[in-house]
Each structure stands twice: as C-alpha cells, then as structure tokens.
Amino acid sequence: MAALAGLGLAASMSSCRSERAHGGRSNGKIALVIKYQPLGEADAFQRLLRDFERDHPGVSVVAEALPTSSDVAHQFFLTALEGQARDFDLFIVDIVWVAEFARAGWLLDLSPFVAPSEVRRDFLAGLGDAVVFDDKTFALPWYVDTGVLYYRTDLVTHAPSTYQELIFAAERAMRERAEIGGFVWQGRQYEGLVCNVYEAIWGHGGETQQGGHLLLQTDAARAALHYLQSLLRTRVSPPTVTSAGEEEARRAFQAGKAVFMRNWPYAFAESERAGSNLRGKVGLAPLPTVTGEPGHGVLGGYQLGVNARIAEDKRELCIALLRHLTSRAASVELAIAYGRSPARRDAYDDPRLVSEAPLVAALRPAFERARPRPVTPYYMMLSDLLQGEFSAAITGVRSPEEALARAQALVDRLTEVR
Amino acid sequence: MRRALQWCTVAMVLAFATGPLFSQVVTSLRPDRALGGGETPFAWSLANYRGALEGRALGRSLLNSIAVAGATTMLCLGIGSLAAFALAKLRFRGKGLWLGGALAISMFPAIATVSPLYLVIRALGLRDTLGALVLSYVTFALPLSLFLLTRFFREIPDAIYEAARVDGCTPLQAWWHVGLPLAAPGIASTAILVFIFAYNEFLYALTFTSSPEMRTVPVAISLFASNRVEPWGEIAAASVMAAVPLVLVAIVFQRRIVTALTQGAVKD
Amino acid sequence: MQRARTEHTEKAWAAIMMAPAVLVLAAVALYPTLASIWLSFHRLILVFHEQRFVGFENYAFLVKDARFFGALGHTAYFTVLSVTAELVLGLGLALFLQAGPPARTLLRAAILVPWAIPTVVSARMWAWFFTQQGDGLLAALGARDIAWLGTPGYAMHAAILVDVWKTTPFVALLLLTGLVGIPPAIYDAAAIDGASRLRTLFRITLPLVRPVFVVTALLRALDAFRVFDVVYVLTEGGPANTTETLSVYAYKTMMRAGDFGYGSALSVMTFICVLFLAAGYFAWARWEENR
C-alpha cells in the first residue's frame, strides 16, 4: 500500500514540472533561460529582463539563480555542461573559468556578433585578455571586482602606502586600544588566499607569469609569503585570519575588531548601511606595496556567456540579450541598485552613475590597475595546488621556500603531463 | 540526589544538542543589522521569518522538501520492506550477495555518481522535477532501509512466520499480516532516518532542479546569500522553520516505536 | 496437508517480492556506479575535451600519490575518532533515555535537533562559531583568538566535534531501538538475583545490545569514511590540506579540476576501502553466527 502510494506521489511529482518544456517554448513564446547569482534585494535585474521582453515580443526570459559561492556554481556548470545540458541559454562565468569553459567547448564563439576589437574597446583593460582567446570572443564582461584596502578613518590619519606603514599604524592602534586587531585578510585555504598572495607578490615588485609560464620561485614570491607569515606571527593579523574568508574578515572589521582589512568593494556598502556602527568611519585605498606605489588588486568579476549547444535559431536572440545586459544603461542600473562595478568603460562616465553610485565611480582607477590571475584553461587545477602550499606557508607548516619549491614541482608536473 | 543528577544530565544534553539551534533562534529573532557587530539594542522582531517566507518563498520549498522526503520514505518502506521480508524469512540462495550488493551500491561516493546520474535523469526526461529527486534519493536510502529492515524482520521468531504459512498465508500475506505489525518499531526508526536524509540532501537537489517551484529547502537556503553577504537572520529563521517538520515527524514516529514495544508485541 | 514450504514456491515468491527493489536499484543506482568505474579507466579531463581509455594508469598514479595517502590517513583518523565518540556518547544517551529521565518527550525531541537541521546550515553555524574573533563563548572560556579552523591540528578535531554533535542522535536512536527490545523480565530477574546496576549493565545489557551496536558501528563507519559536507563547509580541506579527506580530494579533483578520470579512480578507491570495512563486518557476523 505504502509502495503504491509512494509510487503514485512520485509519478505525480514527475509530471508536475515547470512550464518550460524541452524545446524552450511555453505558451507560444520562445523562452530564454539565464543562470545568474543573486545580485541583491532590488528588482533592477528583473526590470532589465522585462525591458528586453518588451522590446522583443514573443520572447520570455526566465532567470534561474545559483548559489553565490563560486565553487558551487562551478560544480553545477561542470556537471550540467558535461551532461550536455541545453536547458539554459545564458550563464555567468567567473573570470577564472572563461579559459576553461572556452577550451572545453561550452561557450559559444561570439566573434561573428561581437568582434574581439569591440570587446577591447568597450570594456576595461585586462578584461579583454580574460574573454578573448585565439582571437575569438567567448564571453562578455558583466561586472568586475578587485582587492582594496579598507581602513578606519577614525583610528588612523591616512591610508598606509607601504607595508611598513601598515604594520606601524596597526601596531600603534592596537597599543592604544585593547580589543582591536590590526589587519584582517583572507587566509583560509581557498581561492581568496591565492588572491591575497598574488597581491602581496605584486606588491613586492614581482611578476607571476612570464611568457605563459607560472613564476613561483622568485624573490618577490618568497618575500611575499614571509611578509604574510610574519603578519600572523607578530599578531599584527589575528590568528583567526587563517580561517577567514571574505565574510569572516568583513564581520570582524564591521564589529570594530580590526583597523585594516583587505577585501572586495562589496564590504563598503555593508559598512555604510543605515544603522551600521561604522558608518562614515571607513575609507578605501589602494593596497600598500613595498615601494609606496599604489598596489595592484586581483581582477575578479563575472562575465556572461552563451551555451554553445543551443539551437542556431536562438543565437541571435541570446546575443541580443547579452548586449542588452552588458549595455551601458544596464551597467549603470546594476551599479546603482546593487553596487556592482561595471565592466564597461563608458559606464563610468555616465552622470547618473557618478551622482548615485559615487563609490563605484571612484573605484575606476583601482579597476584599471587590477591584474588578472594566470589565464589558463587549467586555472582551477592550478589554484588547487597553490592553495595547499600557500596555506602551508602562512600557517608555518612549511617554510615559504619549501612551499614554493613544492608548488613549482606540482605545477611543472601539471603542465608537462597536460 | 539521584534526581538532581538526572536533571543535571538532562540540562547538559539539552544544552549541547539544542544550544546551537537556540542560538539560531535568537539570531532569527534579531534584525540583521545587529549581527554585523556593534552596539545595537536588543531588538526582537519576526522580520526574518517574514523575509524568509515572503521574500524568499520558503513556504514552497518547505512543501517540496516534505513531499520529496515523504515520497522517498514511502517508496523505500514499501519496496524495501517487501524485499527485506523476503531476505529475512524466505528460503533461497545468495541472500548475502543480494544484501551485500545492494549495500555496496549505496556506498559509492555521491560526488562520482552525480554526473552519470544526471545523464540518466536527462534521458528519462525528469530534469527539473521532484520525481528526479525521489528517484535519486531512493537509490541511496533503499539499500540502507533494506539492511535495517532485514535485521528487524530477522528478529521476528521464525515460528510465527511458519505458523502463518501453515495457516495458508502466502509470503506476501505473511508480510502484510505478520511482518509489518511486528517490526513496526524498526520500520518507524527506518522511516525517520530515511525522511531526514531525503529532507536534508543538497548535492542532487542542486544539480537536478533549477526552477524556483522545484526547489527544496537546503537549496533555497543556499540561495539566500547575495554578493557574498549571508543574511544570517533569515538563514536562521529558515533553518528553524525547516527543522520543525523533521522534529514533528520524529516525535510522531518515536511515539509509535514506544507504544508498539510497550505492548510487548515483539517478544512474546 | 501439503507442506506449504516447497522451495520452488518460496523462490518464486522471493523473486516477486524482491523484484521492485532490484529493478529500482539496477536502473538508477547500478548504472552510475558502473559508469564511474568505467570512467576511472579513462583519462578524462573536461577542459581538454578528450576521453581516452588508459587502463590502470590512473590507479598507477594513485598508489604513488602522496596526497591520496594523506587523505586516506585523515579519513581513517576522522572515522576512528568520530565513530568511537559517537558510539560511546550515543550508548550513554540511549541508556539514559531508557532509564526514564525527567522531561522525556522534550529530551527525545531535542536530541534529534542536530540531526534534523540541514547540514549546509549547521556546518555553517559551527563555522561561524569557530571563526569568531575574540568574542563569544570560546573567549569567555579563556581560549581567545585561537584559529580553530585555521590551525593545523585543531581543525580536524573541530570537524570531528561537529560530526559527533550532528550524528550522536542517529546513533542513540538506533541503539535505543535495540535497548528497548530487551524484555523487562530479564532485568527483573537480575534485580531479584541482587545484581548491581553496573553489573546489570555489563553482564546483561551490553551483550544483548551487541548486535545492534555492531550494526550501528558499521553504518556509522561507512558513513564517516565518506564524510564530505561537514569537512568541506568548515575548512574546505585546509589548512594546508590537513583536513582533506578522501571525499574532499575526490570532489576537488572532479569538480574543480574537472579531472573526471582520476576523480572517479579516487572514488572507486574510497569505495573499495569502504567495502573492506563492510566485508570485515560480514565476516565477523558470520563468525558470530557459527559460534
């Protein structure tokens, strides 16, 4: 009896599917499905989609959300695209996945519609290299991110421009106030750690890539890891940094437990919220370096790509939606509503953006200074190897020299075998 | 003195088990601002519950989860108890192999099977349906149910089964009239475990469903965060609401276990 | 009267009653398992779009892979510690519940809470608890600013703690079912004979509950060996890969690197280890029966 009831229930649930059938047609309309990550509470994104529907009668756009964790989204796409999914048309692509997805043949070649030269002209520098391979466009940049230094304007007089200044200012603030920590950043073993280490390497004047090869055993890399390790050892950074991701660092900073923080720009909106205890007390600055020159943050952000497997007759529509979402007007809307920094150059000149999202406009120099992580189809593999060794270096399990040597050996084996 | 010790233990157990949930409840009743840190006064409100239910459509996800878990449980119990009874009471060769094989299959890591299973689900046309989830969960829960139920059925004395057969029952009737009632506590325990497993499963639910109408609770909660910021207040409210059906199911089933046993049904 | 139990009829009935289960498992579970094993004999890295049969090459790499052995060690450590703790605590809890404590219903409902909260939520809850800086309960206890999840050595035990917290109810529930099945008459007889409570526990209760105990231990061991959610959410395998279990390593290989070939090989290896555990149990069970 129970079995029958169970079967009956299961059967009814199978037939209870959503309106979209295989061909992507529902009540006569062509359905375009876009996979995205939740942007925020405002409905600006939905409005953009409805605008598109108005301009293209006969088309309905369905937006499906994926969890905000980059790893979970990556895992989803790997499973679905390897399983030859055709049930979504547009999808977000993290900047470090574009090479991977392009090489795997999952991203539609957009060059007939958007030439590489157009991409380099319209979008911020550095993004072109991230989405153009073999002189073909594989995705269009949507919004960008980069690492910046946060500081408490009420506790320090100005933002430090060198590491020495940072340490000095942090130590002084810690002496003056008992409960505060110095500098929080992302030291947990994950992609964020790689970003922090790369920024430190660049800050120490080193290069991380040369002619397509990864450079690890350089003086700058050693110095960078020693620096990060010393921050923890001398307690300029509290020990909890080794288990901190973006949110842990932000929470600590927000709770007034740190003077400095390295994080992405999103945290500023949170600290400036009505009712926040840090409102008006937080400033942003470029990352410090050894020499005092403004530092380079890691270039992050998401692009939009088209599923290579969709039907030919849908392609034009998808490109149209793509252009619509990455247009200047759309970029400005997203910036104002959600604080997402546009990838388009001309969006930053838009007067509405300047007046209603001044922070975003002010970040433009930081984005222009931002540098990408190694652009390679096997970036995820690479990152996994680096994460383990970088984590070992900063937690003191291995010396930076040994960690870098091991990392180099692992990377070499990866590149020669592949 | 003994009573005092007992109360002490009760308090400790309660604290350990529910402490984290209690902190969730507290978190869920405070507006999110207070969580970022900082000195805000104790403000209590149900805003997070409203936000989770209305803003995030958690209600639909809760129903989906309950439906999927319920169907999985019923299927596992129905199909499983049939096979388990056969394994426990009927005579045929290779029993150990069947049971071992079933258990072995369920022990294969889910990570590896998600990709091939995705292809199966697609081939069956069950993409983005709750049926796909039920099917996948049954494959993991069925062997476990088989294993447990076989053990519980084995504890029923053979004499009772023989008597039923002599009276003219087919094995199927024996299963219905003898097996199920006598193994009721075991069946109830298995039911709880299967229900909770199906309710809380995340990986398959994320991969096989995509539209908001088909979402289950774990996936829904994972979508609360936007731009890295996790709204802890709403997450806490959602997890409190998600735990309620489970605890209810558990209480109901546990009662059945106890009453069935105190009637001395098993060992006479 | 004809003996109803002819072997032929029994077999037929057995086939009928087992058919639904066998069909479902074969259709939905067998294929992915076999497909995974099949994939493990291929070199399949998604990025490079190639799928080549390479025989045992993946396994040859695996037996020399230091990271695999590290993961195996971590997994074994995790399994032994967490299962032991869960069995001990679970048994204690089950005994306590059986003895009729005050607030019984409340207690029974409460202990299920850790098991009832979705893992993705409870693991994050604990992660927040462990990563708080300088605040909260831990600081009050004097453990200020220890990076529980970021210090090699501490992180694994934090993960074990969370798993024990989460799974002890499951163990207690199963053990309780075994305990309550012991007829009260036996206890009465023991009481009449003047046995002390401790004696009753060791001489009567434990031996009678042993079958359920071993089954529970087996199930928990099989599950603990494949642990993923708890570890991944808390530490992602860090710091410095010190909490990387087999499942986490397999996950990273498959879902991050896109190396489905080697990832399947790792999964098959995990599966084989788990089979060993199960085989050990079945051998013990058979030895027990023959005693």
pLDDT digit string (tens) for A364-395?
A: 999 999 999 988 888 999 999 999 999 999 99
The pLDDT assigned to C99 comes to 75
Q: Under an 8 A CB cutoff, do C241 and A391 touch?
A: yes
Q: How far apart are CA A90 and CA C267, in angstroms?
A: 32
Selected residue of C52, C131, C138, C264 to mutate for chain A interface (largest A Cβ count, 10 A): C131
* Contact residues, A window 353-382, toward C, CB-based 8 Å cutoff: 377-378, 380-381
The pLDDT assigned to A22 comes to 38
User: How many CB pairs lie under 8 A apart between chains A and C?
Assistant: 127
Q: How far apart are CA B119 and CA B111, in angstroms?
A: 14
Residues A196 and A308 in one domain: no
* Total Cβ atoms within 10 A of residue C62: 18
Q: How far apart are CA A340 and CA A255, in angstroms?
A: 24
Kindly state the percentage of chain B with pLDDT values over 90: 10
* Contact residues, B window 35-54, toward C, CB-based 8 Å cutoff: none
Indicate if the pLDDT at residue B268 is higher than 70.
no
CB A265 within 8 A of CB A339: yes
For residue A132, what are the domain limits? 24-144+300-369
The pLDDT assigned to A16 comes to 47
* 3-state DSSP assignment of residue C196: coil
Residue A83 lies in a domain: yes
* 3-state DSSP assignment of residue C53: strand
pLDDT tens digits, residue range A249-306? 998 898 888 999 999 999 998 888 877 888 889 999 999 999 999 999 999 999 999 9
CB A387 within 8 A of CB A198: no
Q: Which of A254-263, B232-241, C11-20 has the highest mean pLDDT?
A: A254-263
Q: How far apart are CA A58 and CA A53, in angstroms?
A: 8
Indicate if the pLDDT at residue B36 is higher than 50.
no
Angle, helices B232-262/B184-200, rounded to nearest 10 degrees: 170
Contacts of B235 in chain C (CB under 8 A): 121, 124
C131 part of contact set with chain A, CB < 8 Å: yes
Mean pLDDT of A149-158: 93
Contacts of C16 in chain B (CB under 8 A): 172
Closest residue in chain C to residue A98, using alpha carbons only: C47
Q: How far apart are CA B171 and CA B179, in angstroms?
A: 10
Q: How many residues does chain C have?
A: 291
Selected residue of A41, A71, A79, A257 to mutate for chain B interface (largest B Cβ count, 10 A): A79
Q: Which of A275-284, A321-330, B57-66, B230-239 has the highest mean pLDDT?
A: A321-330
* Total Cβ atoms within 10 A of residue B151: 20
C251 part of contact set with chain B, CB < 8 Å: yes
Stronger pLDDT, B91 or A290, i.e. the higher one: A290
Provide the H-helix boundaries in A272-362: 312-325, 328-338, 351-356, 358-362
| Dihedrals phi, psi of B92, to nearest 5 degrees | -165, 165
Return the residue matching tokens 């999840």.
Answer: C149
Beta carbons within 8 Å of A92's beta carbon, 6+ residues apart: A35, A36, A37, A66, A73, A142, A302, A303, A304, A305
Q: Under an 8 A CB cutoff, do B226 and A69 touch?
A: no
Q: Under an 8 A CB cutoff, do B113 and C28 touch?
A: no
Would you place residue C219 in the very low, low, confident or very high pLDDT band (cuts 50, 70, 90)?
confident
Nearest to A144 by CA among A357, A387, A334, A384: A334
> C100: buried, middle or exposed (CB in 10 Å: 19+, 13-18, 0-12)?
exposed
C229 part of contact set with chain A, CB < 8 Å: no
Return the residue matching tokens 């247009």.
Answer: A327
The pLDDT assigned to B264 comes to 42
Would you place residue C229 in the very low, low, confident or very high pLDDT band (cuts 50, 70, 90)?
confident
Nearest to A350 by CA among A368, A373, A367, A333: A333
The two most distant CA atoms of chain A are separated, in Å, by 77
Lowest mean pLDDT among A325-339, B44-58, C53-67: B44-58
Beta carbons within 8 Å of C261's beta carbon, 6+ residues apart: C39, C40, C41, C42, C43, C44, C45, C51, C54, C58
Residue A270 lies in a domain: yes
Residue A19 lies in a domain: no
Closest residue in chain C to residue B145, using alpha carbons only: C21
CATH superfamily membership of C61-290 = MetI-like (1.10.3720.10)
Residues A112 and A152 in one domain: no
Would you place residue A27 in the very low, low, confident or very high pLDDT band (cuts 50, 70, 90)?
low
Stronger pLDDT, C7 or C163, i.e. the higher one: C163
**Hey, which chains touch B, using 3+ CB pairs under 8 Å?**
A, C
Q: Which of B4-8, C19-23, C140-144 has the highest mean pLDDT?
A: C19-23
Indicate if the pLDDT at residue A13 is higher than 80.
no
Q: How many CA atoms lie within 13 A of A104 on its CB side?
A: 29
CB C256 within 8 A of CB A380: yes
CB B73 within 8 A of CB B145: no
Beta carbons within 8 Å of C180's beta carbon, 6+ residues apart: B185, B257, B258, B261, C98
Would you place residue A402 in the very low, low, confident or very high pLDDT band (cuts 50, 70, 90)?
very high
B206 part of contact set with chain A, CB < 8 Å: yes
Residues A127 and A186 in one domain: no
Beta carbons within 8 Å of B160's beta carbon, 6+ residues apart: B178, B182
Q: How far apart are CA B165 and CA B89, in angstroms?
A: 11
Residues A123 and A250 in one domain: no
Residue type present at position A11: A
| All structural domains of chain C with their residue ranges | 61-290
**Hey, which chains touch C, using 3+ CB pairs under 8 Å?**
A, B
Q: What is the mean pLDDT of chain A?
A: 89
Indicate if the pLDDT at residue A18 is higher than 80.
no
Residue type present at position B97: L
pLDDT tens digits, residue range A305-334? 999 999 888 999 999 999 999 999 999 999
Compare CB distances from B83 to C17, C222, C255 and report the shortest one's residue: C17
Rounded to a whole number of angstroms, the distance between the first and last alpha carbons of chain C is: 36
Stronger pLDDT, B168 or A250, i.e. the higher one: A250
**Architecture (CATH level 2) of domain B2-262:** Orthogonal Bundle (1.10)
Q: How far is C123 from chain B (nearest CA, A)?
A: 11
Q: What is the CATH number of the domain that holds A92?
A: 3.40.190.10
Selected residue of C2, C7, C11, C18 to mutate for chain B interface (largest B Cβ count, 10 A): C18
Selected residue of A18, A84, A247, A279 to mutate for chain B interface (largest B Cβ count, 10 A): A18
Q: What are the structure tokens assigned to A371, written together?
A: 């540098």
DSSP letters for B175-220: IIIIIHHHTHHHHHHHHHHHHHHHHH--HHHHHH--SGGG--HHHH
Residue A12 lies in a domain: no
Closest residue in chain A to residue B227, using alpha carbons only: A39
Q: How far is B55 from chain C (nearest CA, A)?
A: 19
Mean pLDDT of B56-60: 83
Q: How far apart are CA C54 and CA C42, in angstroms?
A: 5
Residues A160 and A108 in one domain: no
CB B48 within 8 A of CB B236: yes
Residues A291 and A409 in one domain: yes
Contacts of C259 in chain B (CB under 8 A): none
Number of domains in chain A: 2
3-state helix, strand, coil in chain A (%, to 5): 50, 20, 35
Kindly state the percentage of chain C with pLDDT values over 70: 93
> C274: buried, middle or exposed (CB in 10 Å: 19+, 13-18, 0-12)?
buried
Indicate if the pLDDT at residue C64 is higher than 50.
yes
Q: What is the mean pLDDT of chain B?
A: 80
User: ipTM of the predicted structure?
Assistant: 0.87
C36 part of contact set with chain A, CB < 8 Å: no
Lowest mean pLDDT among B46-55, B101-110, C155-164, C250-259: B46-55
B132 part of contact set with chain A, CB < 8 Å: yes
Q: Is this structure's pTM higher than 0.80?
A: yes
Partners of A94 in the beta sheet?
A302
Closest residue in chain A to residue B220, using alpha carbons only: A67
Q: How far apart are CA B236 and CA B243, in angstroms?
A: 11
* 3-state DSSP assignment of residue A258: strand
Mean pLDDT of A349-365: 90
Q: Under an 8 A CB cutoff, do C275 and B107 touch?
A: yes
> B46: buried, middle or exposed (CB in 10 Å: 19+, 13-18, 0-12)?
exposed
Quote the DSSP letter at residue A134. Answer: T
Indicate if the pLDDT at residue C142 is higher than 90.
no
Kindly state the percentage of chain A with pLDDT values over 70: 93
The pLDDT assigned to B37 comes to 45
The pLDDT assigned to B32 comes to 59
Beta strand A29-36 pairing with A90-94: parallel
Q: How far is A91 from chain C (nearest CA, A)?
A: 18
Kindly state the percentage of chain B with pLDDT values over 70: 89
Quote the DSSP letter at residue A123. Answer: B
Q: How far apart are CA C17 and CA A377, in angstroms?
A: 52
Measured CA distances, B171 to B146, B265, C5 (Å): 17, 20, 10
The pLDDT assigned to C125 comes to 83
Q: What is the mean pLDDT of chain C?
A: 84
Q: How far apart are CA A375 and CA A199, in angstroms?
A: 16
C262 part of contact set with chain A, CB < 8 Å: no
Q: What are the structure tokens assigned to C24, written together?
A: 């479902």
CB A262 within 8 A of CB A150: yes
C63 part of contact set with chain B, CB < 8 Å: no
Mean pLDDT of A6-23: 49
Measured CA distances, B90 to A397, B41, B158, B241 (Å): 59, 67, 10, 44
Would you place residue C144 in the very low, low, confident or very high pLDDT band (cuts 50, 70, 90)?
low
CB A154 within 8 A of CB A169: no
Q: Under an 8 A CB cutoff, do A377 and C256 touch?
A: no
* Contact residues, C window 208-227, toward B, CB-based 8 Å cutoff: 211-212, 215, 219, 222, 226
What 3 state SS string does A156-216 have? CCCCCCEHHHHHHHHHHHHHHCCCCEEEECCCCCCHHHHHHHHHHHHHCCCCCEECCEECC
Rounded to a whole number of angstroms, the distance between the first and last alpha carbons of chain B is: 37
Would you place residue A25 in the very low, low, confident or very high pLDDT band (cuts 50, 70, 90)?
very low
* Total Cβ atoms within 10 A of residue B93: 10
Measured CA distances, A345 to A324, A332, A349 (Å): 16, 11, 8
Residues A401 and A347 in one domain: no
pLDDT tens digits, residue range C71-116? 999 999 999 999 999 999 999 888 888 777 777 777 777 777 788 7
Angle, helices C119-131/B232-262, rounded to nearest 10 degrees: 120
Indicate if the pLDDT at residue A46 is higher than 90.
yes
Q: How many CA atoms lie within 13 A of A147 on its CB side?
A: 29
DSSP letters for C143-179: -TT--TTTSTTHHHHHHHHHHHHHHHHHHHHHHHHHH
Contacts of C127 in chain B (CB under 8 A): none
Contacts of B143 in chain C (CB under 8 A): 25, 29
> C103: buried, middle or exposed (CB in 10 Å: 19+, 13-18, 0-12)?
middle
Residues A49 and A130 in one domain: yes
Would you place residue B5 in the very low, low, confident or very high pLDDT band (cuts 50, 70, 90)?
confident
Q: How far apart are CA B144 and CA B5, in angstroms?
A: 37
Mean pLDDT of C231-257: 91
Contacts of A103 in chain C (CB under 8 A): 47-49
Beta strand A258-263 pairing with A299-306: unpaired
Would you place residue C120 in the very low, low, confident or very high pLDDT band (cuts 50, 70, 90)?
confident
